[in-house]
Amino acid sequence: MRFSWRSEWPHLLLIAAMFALGTASWSGAPDRIPMHWDLTGRPDRYGGRFEGLFAIPLLALGIYFLMRFFPRIDPGRANYDAFAHAYATVRLAIVTLMAALYGLIQLAIRGHEVRMSAAVPLLVGGLFVVVGNVMGKLRPNWFIGIRTPWTLSSKLAWTRTHRLGGRLFIVLGLLFMGFAVTQSPRLLWALAVAGGGGILGLVVYSYVLWRRDPDKTPPAGTLPA
């Protein structure tokens, strides 16, 4: 799979901006920086200056390079060209989420009141919606998507399971966003039920499709889509 500057510059720009902002904030940052918040939006863990300013940028950089490296070692590497745009979208969505979370931490450092209990579910919900919209375009691989023994052994199971999984992700994303706005405990229960039930349902669904597929393939021999 070939990468181009045209597809990579948004990722690199966001990561570079995080490092630049962390460097610029070093001298004025407090010694203790909030790193985690409970469900009510109150900080429940603090980190030092280096962790608070550079942990997320470093993590984003590490994830970026890992996702660049995965296609090189994937047994289904030949399929990546078939879903290059979807893969780039997922990678950019993850980096964007981390950059947005870092921006919230920067606002908190500067004394601004940030409702993390609303902002974080809203951002996570947005990620789920984006991923859900491109999930049906993913092709068999070993690193991203709904990877059960049956989706990796049947193109039919892979394709249909990911189409259904994409709808599930969108529903979960909307529930996250709804919780961000309403802070309703009922939506948390709905998220738990929809998430747990949906995952179990997708596993069973992939198995049923695999059983019906006359053209099964060995998992280690995933072929180009």
- Sketch the domain layout of the chain as residue ranges: 5-221
Residue 20's identity, in one-letter code, is A
pLDDT band at 222 (very low <50, low <70, confident <90, very high): low
pTM above 0.95, yes or no: no
Count CB-CB contacts under 10 A for residue 141: 24
Q: Quick: pLDDT tens for 197-220.
A: 999 999 999 999 999 998 887 665
* Cα 213 off chain centre by: 30
pLDDT of 5 > 90? The answer is no
The per-residue pLDDT of the chain, averaged, comes to 90
Residue whose C-alpha is closest to residue 219's, from 119, 74, 90, 91: 74
Q: Quick: pLDDT tens for 133-143.
A: 999 999 999 99
Q: Could you tell me the two tokens for 17?
A: 């901006």
Contact between residue 95 and residue 63 where contact means Cβ atoms under 8 Å apart: yes
